Amino acid sequence: MKRIVIADNQRGLLFKRGRYVKMLKAGVYTEWGNTVIKTLDLCNEIHPEMCTLDTLLADPEVNASATTVEMGDREYALHFVNGAFRELLTTGKHAFWSVFDTHTFQTVDISKTEVDGSVPSYIFPMIPSFLYREIIVPEYHKSLLYIDQKFQRVLDSGVYYFWNSASRVDTLTVCTRAVKEEINGQEMLTLDKVSVRVNLVYTYRVTDPVGLVSSHDSFEEAIYLTAQLALRDYVGAHRLDELLESKDMASKAVFDSLKSCEISQFVEFTGAGVKDLILPGEIREIMNTVLVAEKRAQANVIARREEVASTRSLLNTAKLMEENATLYKLKELEFIERICENVGSINLNGNTDLVTLLSGLVGKRTE
């Protein structure tokens, strides 16, 4: 004999010779002979060990104390206890004690792969992750939704949930912000057959993600090729001297060419500019030699111009001094002042005038 205590939050199942007999409420019972008593907690789902759930629910007393729900192959049920979400139930029959708690269920059709608005998003962190797929589309992005390899629609920024049912879900995310790309070290031939390397920077923004993805296997490569060809066409149609004169003109021409391709590429080009024009070593040396020669010629011209201007100024001064005795005298005084600035003291002897004596002193110092 074995004494069994059934608490208030429990129910007991009495079995005799392996067959279900009845449900036992709270109290003290004794197992004897071929009888067995199994206890079940009222807060848990009903899972009888020694009989099937249908056998147990066939008892009117058990059936009156339980709430049941049954889902098909492509159905889930959201289980709420006293209005709060408890769990997600999958295919099969489920029963719960309704003695102290109220159990409600919301049936979900998972044949519709995308989760609709009737299912609250807050439940997903509380259910097994293998039952669903979460897709996050960042801000300033668009995501193309494919179900069973067929395009469905464009997803804006946000969080989306899909049931892991028989259908396959794929997405392709495209950035809709301005994207900067560079073409570095692109070697090209000019119209006069000079090989140069050009660096180009361009920016674009996707305007039609569906058209862009459906038209190109790799849209980044297609846009890169478009910019590369626009640059090559411009460089190939101009001589080296024309390219060196103005990079701004080359940038504008390439940008205009890209703008004409916007509709076919499903993007909007927002800018393009030639960063660098790199010449081969031999051409660079020749250009440096030419530049040095040009600068030397300019320097010689400037030096001669200044020499002529200085000579003309001296000539004009001499003419004025010849015509004006006072001006000549002022020049003598200016000359004496300059000498005095560099002489500590001057002693004068004789009847010779000051200028003559100073001239003599200067002559002696020179000797």
CA atoms within 13 A on the CB side of 96: 19
For residue 97, what pLDDT is reported?
93
The token pair at 229 is 């060809």
For residue 312, what pLDDT is reported?
82
For residue 363, what pLDDT is reported?
47
For residue 171, what pLDDT is reported?
93
For residue 225, what pLDDT is reported?
92
For residue 169, what pLDDT is reported?
92
pLDDT, block means (10 residues), the chain with 367 residues:
89 91 92 89 91 92 93 92 93 93 93 88 92 93 92 93 89 92 87 86 92 87 92 89 83 92 90 84 63 74 82 79 72 70 63 59 45
For residue 302, what pLDDT is reported?
83
For residue 155, what pLDDT is reported?
94
For residue 239, what pLDDT is reported?
85
For residue 322, what pLDDT is reported?
74
CATH superfamily for 179-279 is Band 7 domain (3.30.479.30)
Residue in the structure block whose two tokens are 């390899």: 149
Considering Cα of 318, then 320, then 323, then 325, what sign does the dihedral take? negative
For residue 81, what pLDDT is reported?
95
The token pair at 295 is 């600068």
**Beta strands in the chain, from DSSP E residues, in sequence order:** 2-6, 10-16, 19-24, 27-31, 35-41, 66-71, 75-81, 84-89, 92-97, 103-109, 132-137, 141-147, 150-155, 158-163, 169-175, 179-189, 195-206, 267-278
Give residue limits of the domains in the chain.
Answer: 179-279, 280-323, 324-367
